[in-house]
C-alpha cells in the first residue's frame, strides 16, 4: 500500500489529527499484527462486539484495558509445568500478545467474557444527550390585523 500525504488536509481541518494519525499507522505494514485473529461485529444500532480467538489462555492470563480512546487486550501465558509427552507438532500458540483497537468518541466497554477459547468484548456507543440531534419546533408568530395609518387634516 502506498503512503498518502495528509498535510493538505491538516491545513484545512480542525480536530481531525487523531483520525489522520490512525490512518497513517494503518498504512504501515510493519505494524500489521496477525495474532490473535479477531472479528468486529455490529450487534445493534449503538452496540458492537469484538471476538478474539485466544485458544490456550484462561481468564487469569488475559487483561483488558480501555484508556484514552484505545482498547488494549494483552495475553501472557503463565509457566506450565514440564509435560510428560513430547510434542511432534505444536499449533496452539503460547506466545504473549498485545492487540490495540482505536475507539471512537463515546464508545465504552460494557462487558467481557471468555467461552470456548473465544474472548468476547462488548462495546456501547453512548452519545450524551447534549450531542444527540434534537427537533426544534418552529413557533408561528401571531397574525395581527393590518394597521391603519391615521392622518390629521389641518385647516389652513
What residue ranges of the chain are covered by domains with CATH 2.60.40.790? 33-79+89-128
Contacts of 33 (CB under 8 A, 6+ apart): 97, 99
Residue 101: Cβ-neighbour burial (10 angstroms; 0-12, 13-18, 19+): middle
User: Is residue 80's pLDDT more than 80?
Assistant: no
Report pLDDT for 131. 76
Please, what is the average pLDDT of the chain? 81
User: Is residue 13's pLDDT more than 80?
Assistant: no
> What would the pLDDT profile of 122-139 be if each residue is shown by its tens digit?
999 888 878 778 888 888
Place of cell 490512525: 22
User: Is residue 70's pLDDT more than 80?
Assistant: yes
Report pLDDT for 150. 77
Contacts of 114 (CB under 8 A, 6+ apart): 54, 57, 58, 59, 62, 120
Under CATH, what is the fold of the domain 33-79+89-128?
A: Immunoglobulin-like (2.60.40)
Backbone angles phi, psi at 53, to 5 degrees: -85, 105
Model confidence, pTM = 0.64
Report pLDDT for 28. 59
- Between residues 104 and 112, the one the model is more confident about: 112
Query: Mean pLDDT over residues 33-39, rounded?
Result: 85
Amino acid at each position: 500500500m502506498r503512503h498518502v500525504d495528509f498535510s493538505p488536509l491538516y491545513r484545512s481541518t480542525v480536530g481531525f489529527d487523531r483520525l489522520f494519525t490512525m490512518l497513517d499507522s494503518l498504512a504501515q505494514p510493519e505494524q500489521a499484527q496477525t495474532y490473535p485473529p479477531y472479528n468486529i461485529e455490529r450487534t445493534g444500532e449503538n452496540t458492537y462486539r469484538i471476538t478474539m480467538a485466544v485458544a490456550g489462555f484462561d481468564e487469569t492470563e488475559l487483561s483488558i484495558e480501555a484508556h484514552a480512546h484505545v482498547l488494549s487486550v494483552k495475553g501472557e501465558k503463565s509457566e506450565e509445568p514440564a509435560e510428560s509427552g513430547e510434542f511432534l507438532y505444536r499449533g496452539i500458540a503460547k506466545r504473549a500478545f498485545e492487540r490495540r483497537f482505536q475507539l471512537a468518541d463515546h464508545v465504552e466497554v460494557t462487558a467481557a467474557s471468555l467461552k470456548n477459547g473465544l474472548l468476547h468484548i462488548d462495546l456501547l456507543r453512548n452519545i450524551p444527550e447534549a450531542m444527540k440531534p434534537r427537533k426544534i419546533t418552529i413557533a408561528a408568530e401571531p397574525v395581527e390585523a393590518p394597521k391603519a395609518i391615521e392622518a390629521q387634516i389641518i385647516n389652513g
